[in-house]
Structures are given as structure tokens and as C-alpha cells.
Structure 1
Amino acid sequence: MSKTVPSAPPVADAARRGSPLRIEGLGLQIGGATILKDVELDIAAGSLVGVIGPNGAGKTTLFNVISGLMKPTSGRVVLDDRDITTASVPARARAGLGRTFQTASLFPKLTVLENVRLAAQVSLGGSGSLLRFPRRTDAATELALGKLDVVGLSHMRDAMAGDISHGDKRKLEIAVLLATESSIVLLDEPMAGVGSGDVPGLVENIRAMQREKGCTLLMVEHHIDVLMGLVEKVAVMYFGTIIAYDTPQRIMENPLVQSAYLGTGSAGTEAA
């Protein structure tokens, strides 16, 4: 079913701090259905940007295209002025792109420390083999321990990753990202399934990651109140396209956004 998407106001430039991540005219069609359409996004270096939208708006699909899990049918993904639209997932990781998923992506039968240490040893130029862990006193181990301290998991270093709580798994994922060289991080619903008591600590972990690495964060999150208090800019997706990109306050006041969430406005082609 096809409908018309209302025009969005011009996307604000990220000029002063540069734009390490640019999405230019991104489109994706699957089986004749338009999933993403003319997505434009310019992310300022060192910023924290939220992506919101109703269910089915295309948020996770956009992350899949940016991270290389899906290939777009039109447009470009540009990382630090390099076109990575057709680059592999490992190539994007080497270029500095990191990502978490809606469900934790860890090695459940390795310890908390071993999960971070594996990322650290690769970041330091060592082997990525699970069979070749460094000694417990080398640089990779020290780096891993430091990142566990940042997220408050040092006391759980010897616990199996599969045995810790969901909230702690999310913190562990952040520690893994901290141990890599990722300069641009995609956080896909980091609060999903996390108990309310763990949310403040996880929010502080995200802030700590940005402070420590000076990285650029792009974050999808359904906890709107949490996201609005955390990010600098918000991109609103609606039926596969971005209809607004502005500060949290202006987004909340935007009648186009209110219409999209209340379901009273016109819509575009169904998105996944």
C-alpha cells in the first residue's frame, strides 16, 4: 500500500565538528516493497544522536544497512569521507564502525573478562582466535580490566557471560566496544529487556563510552524519555524515511512528529 510521506524540514548541517557518518539518499526495496526511501542523515563528530519512530518505521533496517548486514538498492553510506556502501562487515569494523544488537551478542561460555580481552587483543594487533588468549598479565588483559572498571563490572570478571543478568550483558557489550577502536558506534535498543533499576547505570555507561572514546553514537531506543535526556539530536523515521532531524525539544514540539506518532497524518510505503 502506497501513501505520501509529508515533507521534512531541511536536515541541519553538522559542519562545525565535521561529519564522520553520512547517509545519502539511501533506499532499500525488497520484493517490490519499499523499506527505506531517500534517507538522508548527517552525523556530527563526537555527537550522540537518537533514532525514533513507530514500530515498522525502518530503524533497525537502517542500522543493518549502515553496518553492512544488508545492501541498499540506492544511495550511499559514507564513513570519514570514504564510501563504504559495498564494504563488508569486517571492513567496516576495521574502519571504526561498531554495533550492538537488540539481543546481546556475546560469547556466553567465555568469562566476562575473556569477552573483553578478546576484543582488546584484536584492537592491539593480536590474534582474534578464541584459542590464543594472551597471558593474564599482558597489555590486552590490562586494557580489558580497565574497560570493565569503566562499566562497573570488574567484580564480575570471572563470571560466565551467559550467567550474568541482561542489564549486565548490555554493560559488557559496552565494555567490548570500549576495548575496540570503534569511533562510530550504533546502539540498537540498548535498554531492551533491561530492568528499570539497571537503566540509570546503563545510561551512565553510554555517557562514559562517549567521554572516554570521544566517539560518535547513533542510538535506536524505544524508551523515549531516556533517549531524550541523553542525546543531542533526534532523527524521526516514519515509513522508511526521515521526516525530522532536530534537538529533542524541537522534535517533541514538531507537529509532523506528533502526527506520525498519533497516526493522524499521511504515511509512506510500509517499512520493516
Structure 2
Amino acid sequence: MLVLDKIGWQLPEGDEILKNITLEVPDGKMTVVTGPNGGGKTSLAKIIAGLAMPTEGRLCLDGEDITSWDMTERARHGISYAFQQPVRFKGLTVRDLLEIAAEEKLGMERICRYLGEVGLCAEEYVDRVVDASLSGGEGKRIEIATVLARKNARIRVFDEPEAGIDLWSFTNLIEVFQRLKQQKGEALLVISHQERILEIADRIVVIAGGKVRTAGDREIILPRLLAEEKASRCPQKQERSCAK
């Protein structure tokens, strides 16, 4: 289990982005972090992946303090991360990235499986260079495929995986998450606003203003979120009705 204990993070100029974040990411569960834009969700994902270091608090993995570990050390211990905005790699092909993630040479059967899960044809993409020639959606799907290929992953972190992909690929992605949930001992942490992703979560954490507003089982949290969303739309409908 990954535990975040009173995590705080400030920018060098002093802006406080995360404030006293305490939560658990349990093994064998899918935890979805949601909330308003600018609330600190992506910052939290970067803290977990080791792309940023907290200014307060600590992170523990199975009881071991990993707060000082960088991204490489965390990756070695099974924490994998899919960026919200895919990174470009001049000179590296899709095959190269998948094999780096898997830490071994891959045959076409496995490459087809990883790329097929994100809606890409392996024959068309396996030798493509991961540079600016790829569209944003293509880069996003390849990024997700590398996380799926990670060997011995303990925690897979996906930052808004639905961004920039088409409906068919999104449907495939939902199926991928459902399969990953069935893998014993592996934790999923997904940053998302999408209701279909929230519907398959085991736990939902709502981050707003850099703080945990609420957290708990999907069966409890999701109905509240949907009711709040519905209520927020009602005044707008009433205003339009009065204007008529």
C-alpha cells in the first residue's frame, strides 16, 4: 500500500499547491482522483511519481519511507506514470519505448497486445519515431501502452488518460482498466473527470483547493458528486427559463 501522510507542496515563489494531503492508495484497488481544474490533482500525481518532491510530509510504500526517492528509484520499485502531456523522444521508436518499459526484448505478439489495447495497429506504429510527427492523441496512447508494458508494476498512475483519444480508444481503455483491476496486488491511481472512469473505481478521492475534500468508496462518493453536478446545473436552467 502507498500512504501519503500530510503532504504539502509549495512553488519556489511561495504559492501553496498541496496542503496537508493524507490518503491511501491500496493494493488491488482502482483509486480515481477527481475534482475541479487547478485543484492540485496533477501535482499530486507528480509527487507520487517522484517528478516533484513534497515540501512537507512523507510517502511510504509498504511501510518504507520513499519520500526522498527520485522518479528512477520509484520506477525500479514498481511505480509507473503516464504523463498528461506525452513526452517526445527523438531517435527512439515505439518498439524502443515498449522494450525499455518491459525491460526486455519484445516479440510482435506482445507489441500487438500492448498497442492493440490502446487502439493502435502495431504494424503501422512499431517502427515510428516518438517525435513531433505523432499527433497528441497518438502520443498519448503510446504513453499509456508503455505503462501497460511495465514489468512488475506495483502502482500504475494515469494522469487524465482519456485526454486526446477518440471514443473507440476510450472504450478500449475502460476495458484495460477493468482487466488491470483483476490483477492481484496491483494498485491503479487514475486522475480523471470522466464519469465512465469514476463508475469503475473502487475508491474516489476529491481534491479541491489543494486539499482532500472527501474520499471513500465509489458507492458512497459518486452519487454525491452526481447530485452536486445536477444541482449546479439547475440554477442555470432556472435563469434561462426566467429570461424567456
TM-score, normalised on structure 1? 0.72
Three-state SS of the structure 1 residue aligned to 2:53 is: coil
Alignment partner, residue 155 of structure 1:
123
Given that residues 171 and 202 in structure 1 are in contact (C-alpha distance below 8 angstroms), is that contact kept between their aligned partners in structure 2?
no
Q: Is 1:178–2:144 an aligned residue pair?
A: no
- Looking at secondary structure, tell me which structure has more helix per residue: 2
1:218/1:170 CA distance change after superposition, 3 Å: same
Which of these residues, 79, 92, 98, is aligned with residue 116 of structure 1?
98
- Once superposed, what is the RMSD of the aligned Cα atoms? 2.8
Aligned partner letter, 2:49: S
Q: Is 1:75–2:57 an aligned residue pair?
A: yes
Matches within 5 A, 1:158-169: 158-162=127-131, 163-164=133-134, 166-169=136-139
Which of these residues, 37, 42, 46, is aligned with residue 55 of structure 1?
37
**1:105, 1:205 → 2: CA distance?**
22
Shift of 1:34: 2.4
Shift of 1:238: 1.2
**1:230, 1:169 → 2: CA distance?**
25
Q: Is 1:90–2:72 an aligned residue pair?
A: yes
Shift of 1:109: 4.3
Shift of 1:93: 0.9
**1:27, 1:60 → 2: CA distance?**
14
Identify unmatched segments of 5+ residues in structure 2. Answer: 233-244
Given that residues 115 and 176 in structure 1 are in contact (C-alpha distance below 8 angstroms), is that contact kept between their aligned partners in structure 2?
yes
Identity over aligned residues, as a percent? 30
Matches within 5 A, 1:1-272: 20-30=1-11, 31-107=13-89, 109-120=91-102, 123-124=103-104, 140-142=105-107, 145-152=109-116, 153-156=121-124, 157-162=126-131, 163-164=133-134, 166-180=136-150, 181-211=152-182, 215-223=186-194, 225-254=195-224, 258=228, 262=232
Given that residues 107 and 115 in structure 1 are in contact (C-alpha distance below 8 angstroms), is that contact kept between their aligned partners in structure 2?
no
Alignment coverage as a number of residue pairs: 224
1:243/1:89 CA distance change after superposition, 3 Å: same
Identify unmatched segments of 5+ residues in structure 1. Answer: 1-19, 125-139, 263-272
Shift of 1:64: 1.5
Aligned partner letter, 2:82: T
- Using the TM superposition, name which of 98-107 and 84-93 deviates more: 98-107
1:191/1:66 CA distance change after superposition, 3 Å: same
Given that residues 117 and 141 in structure 1 are in contact (C-alpha distance below 8 angstroms), is that contact kept between their aligned partners in structure 2?
yes
Cα deviation digits, residues 135-187 of structure 1 (max 9, x gap): xxxxx223x74153144143332344445554443332233223323210110
**1:247, 1:151 → 2: CA distance?**
32
Three-state SS of the structure 1 residue aligned to 2:28 is: coil
1:212/1:115 CA distance change after superposition, 3 Å: farther
**1:174, 1:211 → 2: CA distance?**
18
Three-state SS of the structure 2 residue aligned to 1:246 is: strand
Aligned partner letter, 2:4: I
